[in-house]
Amino acid sequence: MNEHQACTCPASKSESFKIVTDHYGLNFIPTGWKLEYTSLDQHEPQRFLYMTGWCLRCGGRDLQSGVSIPGELSGDALLEHVYQEMERYRPFEHRRSDGTYNRSLLGRAGWYMEQDDLTLDEKNAQFLKLFHEEDQRAVEDWICRTRAEEPYTAPRRDRKSTLLYAVLNRARASGDLREIEPILDYYLPNENGPLSPEKDSYLTNYAFSAVSAIDFGCEGIYVELCLEGQFDESGNGRCSIGTFKTLRDDAEACRLMGQLCGVLMYHTAKYVNENIHRYTPRRELEAEVLRKQEKGGGAL
Ligand SMILES: [Zn+2]
């Protein structure tokens, strides 16, 4: 891999927009952002927000895919535009409304999902870094005024995998997996075997139960953790969010895997309750805001 070198693929030198675009579609793995501009205060025709990255084919590190910033924007309007582009621009992949990606490149869709799931602080810090040092104070001031907190009616959501990992962390921290984890062969998804970007959708409703099924497999014992009820807008009443397997099939293993079912049920219910805002449907949050306003309580 040529750490600091340019992409040497002939397609990236092509005069044909289509050939270059196809090359990016097949090989561009993004890793960061770059903003090209002169000043925040004046109109400027040639400004670009670039997504930077590398070439999957040759390892070249100089790939960038840009979106142009309207020249007439300056000050707050410019910052607002760049911020929204950073949240929106996801070239060469299709993001669906449930947060999943129609995958073409796993590494790229994965990076986009990380971008979508940044905390507000992480997102603000990333945004701030785009600007020249002399502009950072003004940008920080804008962040304080407009991005100090998440909109109440659009909270950051958990994906299916986010929920599973949170439940496992919670159970592990309380010692409930101490006897169980040593007998596990694997569980899926995990950090090295993530859920496909096509399936890892956001959970946008809390009206579900965590139900585990336990059974012998062709070898060992399987436990599957499912959500049953309303957990998003898909209309599906059931989805699996995790599978656990042990190679053992003796009586003690059956007891421990049965225990795992209860542990998963308990910690899923507790975790969702503790983070209920993230799981509340948008229409309920909007209705709540309206009710408060009618009572004269002002905005939340
Ligand atoms: Zn290349």
Condensed to tens digits (0 to 9), the pLDDT of residues 141-157 reads 999 999 999 999 999 99
Q: How far is the CA of 111 from the centre of ligand 1 (A)?
A: 19
Has residue 65 been placed in a domain? Answer: yes
Q: 166 in the Ramachandran plot: left (φ > 0), alpha (ψ -120 to 50) or beta? A: alpha
Residue 29 CA to ligand 1 center (angstroms) comes to 11
Query: 4 lies in a domain?
Result: no
**Are residues 167 and 51 part of one domain?**
no
Between the CA of 108 and the centroid of ligand 1 the distance, in Å, is 15
Ligand 1 mean position, distance from CA 23 (Å): 8
On the question of pLDDT at 299 being above 70, the answer is no
pLDDT for residue 106: 85
Q: Which of the residue ranges 37-51, 131-145, 202-216 would you say has the lowest mean pLDDT?
A: 37-51
In angstroms, the CA 107 to CA 10 distance is 23
Tokens 């949050």 — which residue?
285
pLDDT above 70: percentage of residues in the chain? 97
On whether both 128 and 162 belong to a single domain, the answer is no
* CA angle, 153 then 156 then 160, to 5°: 125
Residue 96, domain extent: 10-146
Residues 116 and 173 reside in one and the same domain: no
pLDDT score, position 295: 86
Q: Tell me whether residue 285 is in a domain.
A: no
Distance from Cα 99 to the centre of ligand 1, integer Å:
29
Last residue of a domain, one of 113, 146, 179: 146
- Would 296 be classed as within a structural domain? no
- Residue 286 forms part of a structural domain: no
pLDDT at 45: 87
How far is the C-alpha of 121 from the C-alpha of 100, rounded, in Å? Answer: 23
Q: Are residues 40 and 163 in the same domain?
A: no
Residues 168 and 88 placed together within one structural domain of the fold = no
In whole angstroms, give the CA distance from residue 91 to residue 94: 8
pLDDT band for 18, please (50, 70, 90 cuts): very high
Q: Which residues pair with 158 in a beta bridge?
A: 203
- Domains of the chain: total: 2
Domain identity same for 28 and 142: yes
Same domain, 188 and 63: no
| Residue pLDDT, tens place only, 166-215 | 999 999 999 999 999 999 999 999 989 999 999 999 999 999 999 999 99
In the reported structure, the alpha carbon of residue 22 is separated from the centroid of ligand 1 by a whole-number distance in angstroms of 12
Ligand 1 centroid to 9 CA: how many Å? 4
Residue 291 lies in a domain: no
Indicate the pLDDT class of residue 297, thresholds 50, 70 and 90: low
**What's the 82 CA to ligand 1 centre distance in angstroms?**
28
Domain contains 169: yes
Does residue 207 fall inside a structural domain?
yes
- Same domain for 141 and 49: yes
pLDDT at 141: 98
